[in-house]
Structure 1
């Protein structure tokens, strides 16, 4: 299932933000490389194709929006590489799983949340930096995406809205955060970068009916750290 977005003229794009350039990105994601295995889920690829990534970066960086690279968004944060966004999203649907309700830790620019919402998921997202969240909310409204958001410490999660069928964490902790895995429903999937700086791995964790956690490693990655507390600026 996909959600219909409101696409204003600026979302359509021209030149380096045109549909032709976006389609080239999709071709690269589908084909993959020795470092980045191809993305096979066509639903995920279609969401990447549809959501205007250039609206989630500073205007000065818009011409680079469809490069397969992370870009700065201010406050020491980044918008993740499209392959990483696609891989994390695809992992939620692996083995025929169909999550409905997903928690995102680290709203950032709002791009990952928009991809999840474009796939028709019920999205809850938590961001600790107030200014990033305010801008992301404006982007969600502009695109007509119904994303629930909260200004809070992401390490706490969103316990009052738990349990979640899936959880995506967009910043790295040295170890799995127990408070987040506790909010995962039995049978649910949690995807998160785990490890110290310079030695992070993208993990997919599945919660069994008895509460046991099974984990597998998807890829080496580089993410900003998952920090505690909130920032009002």
Structure 2
């Protein structure tokens, strides 16, 4: 799951991002409204955690602009104003998907983010198949010849991208961008290590091929 935290209070933004990463989410941070809008135009975020009191462009304006897009992210508005009128305005007039008043309990924030991600449009075909491998995107399950396979969130996300590519190479940088986040160095060995573990769990080391200069692809 890819999340953008748009919050100008740097300590709070960092704390939210750290907590969500511990929940196996990929998180980017924007400190101003114009930056948040630009990042959403460049990256397909699942959920945008959007503070209403942002500099340059307010959170209200960012919300309005993003909801003009064909496929906007789910938006969770954060605000210090917890009055009922503010919540109704954010949900009905701005087009936010959810509303959370500060201060908030982090467990509630995580629950709301997960709920919003489940409300995102589902792909037409939920299950992906490759040989005896079946990956269920809705249930986050993988089976090999009917037998359940335990994967970490990162392993699942990498396998999903490879299966969605249908045998075409998925560039290393795309795996880093979609499965990790902007803070991970493009030269990281994390992708290679994850693919190595995934090969071992799949039981067929030659199923995932490394294309020099291209990335990884499924074989067979």
TM-score by length of 2: 0.29
Greater helix proportion: 2
TM-score by length of 1: 0.28
